[in-house]
């Protein structure tokens, strides 16, 4: 068996701009993302993750990994695992970094983290009182189709969080996972998932993921099983036809897009 092309390391705050760019690039051909981006307010993943990435790295309830090419040092992809119901000291450590990053991480811990809001997976999930069924959310009066789509998916996610992470639940979940297009199909995503699966098995907890339409088979390969779906007709929300053949579902339309909620039991 050949040696791995990359190593998994702990992401640092200095990595956030590159991580945000990778996320944006990896979703350029994602139909759901592009329909949302066509709305009045836009939907800029690079901008979103430039702010969210720092919070994930600073949070004691998250572990953010990066894949670094062993020869070039290029950041190939990143993944954030969330930990729900874990006591202090139970969340596993991240892989070791090289000496330069170790020094930088000490500086981050002492200086840069202090002004970053902490991410918390509380017993009371955000939006719990206002969550509606997806069908109810989609009929609300919002004149911007992509904005209605964003609300639909957000509300459905909140509903499933209530199902999968009720009060007292202990589990792990994938907050986000992105691999640069040029490094996809090279084992990077699988390595991120195997790291988390091993930690979940050691802790005896299940893990889950809200998978995009194209990615679900990657999760299935490491033991995630589909437990629920959200099937969306994107043409009901898009402001126009897809701008390129690469984004078409069929017959010049955006087509249906299926989000899959997937769960993996400990082994």
The reply to whether 59 falls in a domain is yes
Q: Left if phi > 0, otherwise alpha if psi is -120 to 50, otherwise beta: which for 89?
A: left
**Is residue 141 situated within a structural domain?**
yes
Distance of CA 88 to the CA centre of its chain: 23
Cβ proximity of 15 and 78 under 8 Å: yes
Mean pLDDT of 18-38: 96
pLDDT at 42: 87
Please say whether the beta carbons of 94 and 59 come within 8 A. no
Residue 1 lies in a domain: no
Distance CA 133, CA 124 (A): 18
Q: Within a domain: residue 208?
A: yes
Q: What is the CATH number for 255?
A: 3.40.630.30
Cβ(65)–Cβ(32) below 8 Å: no
- Mean pLDDT over residues 122-133, rounded? 40
Kindly report, residue by residue over 142-153, the tens digit of the pLDDT. Answer: 578 999 999 999
Does residue 129 register a pLDDT over 70?
A: no
Residue 140 lies in a domain: yes
Is the pLDDT assigned to residue 216 strictly greater than 90? yes
Query: Cα separation of 119 and 82, whole Å?
Result: 10
Per-residue confidence at 132, pLDDT binned at 50, 70, 90? very low
Helices 16-26 and 45-58: crossing angle in degrees, nearest 10, is 130
Q: Cβ contacts of residue 21 below 8 Å, gap of 6+? A: 46
Under the banding of pLDDT at 50, 70 and 90, the label for residue 141 is low
Q: How confident is the model at residue 249 (pLDDT cuts 50, 70, 90)?
A: confident
Question: 246 pLDDT exceeds 70?
Answer: yes
Give domain status of residue 238, yes or no: yes
Model pTM score: 0.84
Query: Number of folded domains in the chain?
Result: 1
Query: Tell me: the pLDDT tens digits for 44-91?
Result: 999 999 988 899 999 999 999 999 999 999 999 999 999 999 998 999
Residue 86 lies in a domain: yes
Domain encompassing residue 97: 6-264
């Amino acid at each position: 068996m050949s040696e791995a092309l990359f190593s998994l390391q702990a992401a640092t705050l200095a990595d956030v701009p590159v991580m945000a760019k990778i996320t944006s690039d990896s979703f350029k051909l994602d139909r759901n993302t592009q329909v949302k981006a066509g709305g009045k307010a836009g939907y800029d993943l690079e901008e979103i993750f430039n702010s969210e990435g720092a919070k994930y790295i600073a949070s004691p309830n998250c572990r953010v990994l990066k894949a670094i090419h062993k020869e070039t040092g290029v950041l190939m992809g990143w993944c954030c695992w969330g930990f729900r119901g874990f006591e202090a000291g139970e969340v596993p450590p991240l892989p070791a970094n090289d000496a330069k990053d170790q020094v930088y991480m000490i500086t981050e811990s002492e200086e840069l983290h202090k002004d970053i809001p902490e991410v918390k997976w509380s017993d009371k999930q955000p939006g719990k009182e206002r969550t509606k069924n997806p069908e109810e959310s989609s009929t609300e009066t919002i004149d911007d189709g992509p904005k209605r789509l964003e609300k639909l998916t957000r509300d459905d996610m909140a509903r499933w969080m209530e199902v999968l992470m009720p009060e007292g639940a202990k589990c792990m979940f994938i907050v986000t996972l992105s691999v640069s297009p040029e490094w996809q199909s090279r084992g990077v995503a699988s390595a991120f998932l195997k790291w988390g699966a091993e930690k979940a098995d050691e802790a005896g907890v299940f893990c889950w993921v809200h998978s995009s339409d194209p990615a679900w088979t990657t999760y299935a390969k490491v033991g995630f099983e589909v437990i629920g779906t959200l099937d969306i007709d994107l043409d009901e929300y898009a402001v126009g036809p897809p701008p390129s053949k690469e984004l078409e579902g069929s017959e010049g339309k955006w087509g249906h897009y299926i989000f899959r909620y997937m769960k993996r039991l400990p082994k």
